[in-house]
Amino acid sequence: MAHLELNQQTIIECRKLANQIVAKVKTVIDVHTSVSIERAALRLIGVEGAIQKNGLNYPLVNEIVDQLRSDRVIAKGALYWFANGLLASGLETNELALKVGAGEIKLSQLDRASLTDIRKKAQELCKAALNRLKTKREERADLRKSQGDPFDTTWNGTPLKYVIVATGNIFEDAVQAKAAVEAGADAIAVIRSTAQSLLDYMPEGATTEGFGGTYATQENFKIIRKALDEAGEKAGRYIRLTNYSSGLCMSEIAAAAAIERLDFLLNDAMYGILFRDINMKRTLIDQNFSRMIIAYSDITIHTGEDNYLTTADAVENGHQVLASQFINERFALHAHMREDQMGLGHAAEMDPWHPNVLLLEIARAQMTRDIFPKSPIKFMPPTRHKVGDIFFSHLMDAMFNFVGVLTNQGIQLLGMPTEAMHTPLLQDRWMSIKNANYIFGAAKDLGKEITFKRDGTISKWANKVLDDTLVLLRKIDRDGLFKAIEDRAFANVSRSETGGKGLDGVVQKDKEYTNPFFELL
């Protein structure tokens, strides 16, 4: 494949700075937990179900953690109190959870076992939970082998065709997902209901009334996973499933996704900070634990740098995307993720009328591919400059697909001709997939046939973006990530360290804090 001549010393320096930036944040992450992490731990050990509260099916994990917060003892960790509760009561996991939820047992008032015994019991629970996740991981590997998986972990070849369904009704999503597979899709993303990221609980059960998407619930994961397994069996190839592990329930969604054998998760704290105004400490703490679960379960993340170019000019601010990718890479490595699990995101969002725009898009796409060679780069379609002209939108998507196959992107989210008009219909998605099928086949080996001029527009632009990235990372390293976000370092959006949603759910760990998942993962 063709490669750019990039300044390797600049790349090394960028990675060094990203490591320093993340190391400072890790000192905050390591001494804190969150209500989402504590609920995720309970979900992993098998606490399921809900109680009726204020007209809602309120999850048992929320009720348990709420009670511990109310009693001001959550700093020791939910697993500390739950493991002690199992020792004191002799009940099974869900029996104890139901009695706590019904108000029959208060965990903080039970007789206390020794810290040694509590931690031993908690470790038993966590080891059993991880064995269940390991079984799910092995099931996925076996299914990929039996159904046939054209995409190996080198992500080297024709981009994976990735499309969305977003009806609001999980059962209709399943129908549309199967239709997309028949048309040639390789991965299906179930778009999450608008603003679910701001809910501090995961809804229970199957849902049929989402807004702009479908609620992320464990039962919905199970339904769509079954549908795609059936579609994959019929199509003779494994189909990947995507959902969103972000927002105030980031860790819990990661746990539910691991249990239900999802393949991809949109998992990026920066997206929540910038575009959903979630407190930066809260979501960075949650991100670390969620990525530990994701790493163990062999799930691939997608990061959200593509969104930066919807609020910041894509020609002038490509360096913000690259700087964030370097930082995201380091956060993922700290959570024990492999490079081939990091679907680092970027997008083709430049003004289509900008001179030589195709060359500039090729420059940034090839630069990203070359700097992160083991990553299944996620390339996002043009959306910002679409206004309802379906013919021009379809042409823009065709050029986007051309850049994707030329530069060997790993995961290509296909654009829709009716972008900016309505949620895609079946025929819209069919047109989109046909477009990609043609271009991916027609230009399959083009990248092997060309080279980039060292002093050409493409190479010069890529190195300019890289140089600008180094300048930005030096500033972030000097000021700290929190201050840099406040100063609009990314997406031209400002957020404060103490602002945003969810800060009250951050808890400093007690010296007796117990959560063996951190050690075992």
Residue 491 φ then ψ, to 5°? 65, 10
* Beta strands 187-190; 240-244: pairing state: parallel
What letter would DSSP give residue 521?
Answer: -
Catalytic residue (one of 76, 378, 386, 501): 378
Structure-block tokens of residue 94: 């869900």
Burial 306-315 (b: 16+ CB within 10 A, else e): bbbbeebebb
Q: How far apart are CA 367 and CA 192, in angstroms?
A: 31
Active site residue 378: yes
Q: How far apart are CA 170 and CA 204, in angstroms?
A: 13
Catalytic residue (one of 271, 296, 308, 513): 271
Catalytic residue (one of 149, 186, 263, 306): 306
Active site residue 487: no
Burial 460-483 (b: 16+ CB within 10 A, else e): ebbbebbebbbebbeebbeeebbe
What letter would DSSP give residue 165?
Answer: E
For tokens 């609920």, the residue is 39
Q: How far apart are CA 252 and CA 56, in angstroms?
A: 18
Q: How far apart are CA 479 and CA 226, in angstroms?
A: 48
For tokens 């965990």, the residue is 107
Cα 3 to chain centroid distance, Å, stands at 28
Q: How far apart are CA 215 and CA 190, in angstroms?
A: 9
Active site residue 308: no
Residue 378 φ then ψ, to 5°? -100, 115
* Beta strands 342-343; 345-347: pairing state: unpaired
Q: Which residues are catalytic?
A: 271, 306, 378
